[in-house]
Amino acid sequence: MPPVRTRIAPSPTGDPHLGTAYIALFNRCFAHRHGGDFILRIEDTDRERSSEQSERKILHALRWLGLDWDEGPGIDGGKGPYRQSERSGIYSDHIRVLLEKSLAFPCFCDEKRLADLRAEQMRQKQQPGYDGHCLGLAADEVAKRLQTGERHVIRLKVPREGECVFTDLLRGEIRIQWSQVDMPVLIKSDGLPTYHFANVVDDHLMEISHVIRGEEWISSVPKHVLLYESFGWDKPVFCHMPLLRNPDKSKLSKRKNPTSIGYYQAMGYLPEALVNYLGTMGWSMPGGEEKFCLAEMEAQFDLERVSLGGPIFDREKFDWLNGRYLREDLDDAEFAKRFADWAFRPDLIEKITPLLRLRVNRFSETAALAGYFLQGELKISADDFAHKRLDPEACRRILQFSLWTLESLEDWNRDAIEACFQQLAGKMDYKIRDFLFPLFVAVSGNPVSLSVFDSISVLGLDLTRSRLRNAMDTLGGISGKQQKKLEKEFQTLSS
């Protein structure tokens, strides 16, 4: 049997997600249980959405959890580079092979043609997808158009008949009709590879033996299988893990549960407790223990025992488990050290120092001013929002619109937050002072506090979201019907 090599391949397009840590944990345990290696690869081919900041946060989050990698950025195992943006030459060499074998083809269809095609397919209640138009072009026409440098993409030829049959380690045989599989773009018009192409080429070149990832990727497997076959490569073992769910069984989403790892760090959970809790998602120790450490999980790990019933990420249960760690695993000295390490995180202190330094005369004034950075949900009441010109409904509206605005903010920094709030206040026809009032209370628990823009930028989106939601609930909440109405209003306002 070839050596076991597993990987996670996050795209650095946002805050590190609990799902990434969950999949990393299972990949790492599986590799180490079998004496193999766990690899980290950064899939940053989407240049517009990827950022270095997001990559840094992902690396930091994985290290914080102790889910470090055997090969990947910073640890060369001879199969690098481990960042797809540094592997362009590899993808161009490989696409040439497929073009020469006529297994892939240039497609010149512009966006308008594809949009019209899609609209027509929808109208006729057909499966939307590429219709193979450019497959019918004569070879000399293709050559001519390529020579003139006409904008095009490269697509994979996908059979229109028959079915793709593959095996998933947890689910057994899966069959998907080829007619359900769109002809995917492999190389975009900017010359960069898409996820499907880069992912398969890299999994092969990095000798990944087992692809263990979330179940949302099952529908991509036929495209990947076809690529492996087109190149004549052996396929890895596929294993699709069940998705994490909210207590109401819906897919874990930030609407209902904070999903960024940074949130759990900022809330003062212990990384070993989070790893332990993620280890109980769809898996259990043979002896049924609920509390176990990473080394114990690695020693006992067994993929076959993953259960497919959607594992529920339950905050209350996690709170209970984290509490057990604090009480059972730390003595006073260790508790004090871990507490101080958390409270005086250098990145937090660095950000709040400039806010405090010019405002206080004594250090003893700082706790009252900046204590809310170290708190979870704030204890606030509807009375805290009493204001001459804003009733509770107006406050809720400001909070909800602000949240939606923050959620679509690309660059999370103080100035961008200020600019978008200034703009929103103008559109909602409020003086900025009035507009900011409910935000001050929601974020800091006080109508006057350190700058609300700085505070939000330091707290991050997940913590801010949970505070704004808490404030809206305190103000009577927003019903489903009101929510729809607000969504419409917000759309009109933003257009």
Residue 167: strand pairing partners: 173
- Whether 254 is catalytic: yes
| In the complex, minimum distance from the CB of residue 116 to ligand GLU, in angstroms, rounded to a whole number | 30
Task: Return the C-alpha torsion angle 120, 191, 96, 86, nearest 10.
Answer: -130
Chain positions contacting ligand GLU, by CB under 6 A:
9-11, 43, 195, 199, 213, 217
Nearer to ligand GLU, 230 or 451 (CB): 230
What is the CB-side half-sphere exposure of residue 99 using CA atoms within 13 A? Answer: 19
| In the complex, minimum distance from the CB of residue 412 to ligand GLU, in angstroms, rounded to a whole number | 20
Task: Please check whether residue 40 is in contact with residue 60, taking contact to mean a CB–CB distance below 8 angstroms.
Answer: no
Looking up tokens 């949130």, which residue turns up? 263
Nearer to ligand GLU, 292 or 313 (CB): 313
Nearer to ligand GLU, 59 or 417 (CB): 59
Residue type, 397: R
Nearer to ligand GLU, 200 or 266 (CB): 200
Short-list 217, 233, 318, CA closest to 267: 318
| The pairing of beta strand 153-156 with beta strand 185-187 | antiparallel
Catalytic residue from among 188, 235, 254, 427: 254
Nearer to ligand GLU, 11 or 464 (CB): 11
| In the complex, minimum distance from the CB of residue 195 to ligand GLU, in angstroms, rounded to a whole number | 6
Task: Please check whether residue 322 is in contact with residue 270, taking contact to mean a CB–CB distance below 8 angstroms.
Answer: yes
| In the complex, minimum distance from the CB of residue 48 to ligand GLU, in angstroms, rounded to a whole number | 15
Nearer to ligand GLU, 25 or 468 (CB): 25
| Strand, coil or helix: 107 | strand
* Count of Cβ atoms closer than 10 Å to residue 285 Cβ: 18
DSSP 172-239: EEEEEEGGGS---EEE-TTSPBPHHHHHHHHHHHTT--EEEEEGGGGGGHHHHHHHHHHHTPPPPEEE
Task: Please check whether residue 306 is in contact with residue 282, taking contact to mean a CB–CB distance below 8 angstroms.
Answer: yes
| In the complex, minimum distance from the CB of residue 43 to ligand GLU, in angstroms, rounded to a whole number | 4
| In the complex, minimum distance from the CB of residue 41 to ligand GLU, in angstroms, rounded to a whole number | 8
Would you please indicate which residues are annotated as catalytic (active-site) residues?
Answer: 254
